Structure 1
């Protein structure tokens, strides 16, 4: 039996819920049939979530073709199933994520991987309370040496999402280690980073520490200087996700409105594209 959840949405799915489809009307009043959720891009995925959320508010229970009560088919559903798809193609390779730690945790859960913060790993190996303590006690070079050794060790371990500090990209040897897996760079606007740092402080960012002055201006100028030195290194990443472009595609006013789940979902989509490109290149080489 097919039951309409609301005037604008009907959900049909197999018992496994592997490939649900949406039949209804988009915000412009045009009918959209057979929309495969697992293949939605960012903008379409956002539209699906909004339509679904609004529709579910209008009914207490919606029924699938199977007669079962339907689970929440929102961003968490997309993350879970896209993560499963991507994980099956990774061949146990690690993901090295240059960017937000919170995104790395969400990404690891979606993939069924372990999560490691390389800075925390170094702190444990050295026996220090923080990266700042290491910098103050032994200097940056000592930290970088331990960071490189940590990345070498972690590159030998399968099924991990490793979040690295931004400075890890400077040493070429670190790219040798990270390229054992798939490298992902989260391109966050300097303005957004500066606002975040000004709000939470620089305890975990010794290179941006300042004693006086406007926190935002100090953070922005420090980030600007570092970005000029690191921009070429960031281009070595296999996958780059621009948070500015992602926010625009989701019709959000600011990148701060993006959730870790939004960003992790986009990372999965881009990794899938990268793996697809790898497979095509491999096939071309076999034909040579």
Structure 2
């Protein structure tokens, strides 16, 4: 396994891995494992935003609004894309801004595609998500998923997630798929 991870790491040539997908898909859990197994650093864009702003995502949404948050998110993504050898867990809406794709395209974009029912089960007691406040959770997630699905589908790699899968299994599935995905990519996208 370690030998395979080293080969995958070498085939990546230092490009970042960006995890995209809906809130609750497991981007942070899987991203930490990917970073560990590939010898990469790990960054969660939401955590960076909270540290930079000195307040929670909920507080940013409440005091400054979603547009302000999305601007911060784009700035963090821009800064992270200047680095190499990172596994980056992004916010669920990062794919909504065209400018963000300008940064994402220089890395390997992995869509963690979790069914809405699984997201509902994972998020039903989560009070930290500002976009889910005062909403029927299933309806809200369904609407957001359908709005974002065509954008997520632009990822280099789609990993369909089931209830039974552990983050370890998902990370392993991504690592095993990376060499095939890299072979199919135009060479101009393999790094800056």
Question: Same fold, TM exceeding 0.5?
Answer: yes
In structure 2, the partner of 1:167 is 93
Change in Cα spacing, 1:271 to 1:137, as seen in structure 2 (3 Å) is same
* Distance across 2 between alignment mates of 1:164 and 1:81: 28
In structure 2, the partner of 1:257 is 164
* Distance across 1 between alignment mates of 2:143 and 2:177: 28
In structure 2, the partner of 1:269 is 176
1:113·1:160 contact (CA, 8 Å) conserved in 2?
Answer: yes
In structure 1, the partner of 2:10 is 88
1:104·1:162 contact (CA, 8 Å) conserved in 2?
Answer: yes
In structure 1, the partner of 2:130 is 206
The 3-state SS of whatever aligns with 1:185 is strand
Q: Following superposition of structure 1 onto structure 2, how do residues 115-194 of structure 1 map, counting pairs within 5 Å? A: 115-128=42-55, 130-194=56-120
In structure 1, the partner of 2:159 is 241
* Distance across 1 between alignment mates of 2:85 and 2:119: 29
In structure 1, the partner of 2:190 is none
1:82 Cα offset (Å): 3.0
Question: Of residues 27, 31, 38 in structure 2, which corresponds to 1:111?
Answer: 38
The 3-state SS of whatever aligns with 1:233 is helix
Instruction: Please give the per-residue CA displacement for 1:62-90, whole angstroms capped at 9, x wherever unaligned.
Output: xxxxxxxxxxxxxxxx3x33322211011
1:104 Cα offset (Å): 0.4
Q: Which consecutive segments of 4 or more residues in structure 1 shift more than 2 A?
A: 80-83
1:95 Cα offset (Å): 0.4
> Pairwise CA RMSD of aligned residues?
1.4
Q: Which has the higher contact order (CA 8 A, sep 6+)?
A: 2
* Structure exhibiting the larger radius of gyration computed from Cα positions: 1
Question: Of residues 113, 130, 149 in structure 2, which corresponds to 1:231?
Answer: 149
Runs (5+) with no aligned partner, structure 1:
1-77, 212-217, 244-254, 283-288
User: Higher helix proportion, which one?
Assistant: 2
Q: TM-score, normalised by structure 2?
A: 0.90
Runs (5+) with no aligned partner, structure 2:
188-192
The 3-state SS of whatever aligns with 1:89 is helix
Instruction: Please give the per-residue CA displacement for 1:171-205, whole angstroms capped at 9, x wherever unaligned.
Output: 0111111111111100001000001101x3131x2
The 3-state SS of whatever aligns with 1:257 is coil
Instruction: Please give the per-residue CA displacement for 1:235-273, whole angstroms capped at 9, x wherever unaligned.
Output: 111111111xxxxxxxxxxx2221111000111122221
Aligned length: 182
In structure 2, the partner of 1:49 is none
* Distance across 2 between alignment mates of 1:222 and 1:177: 28
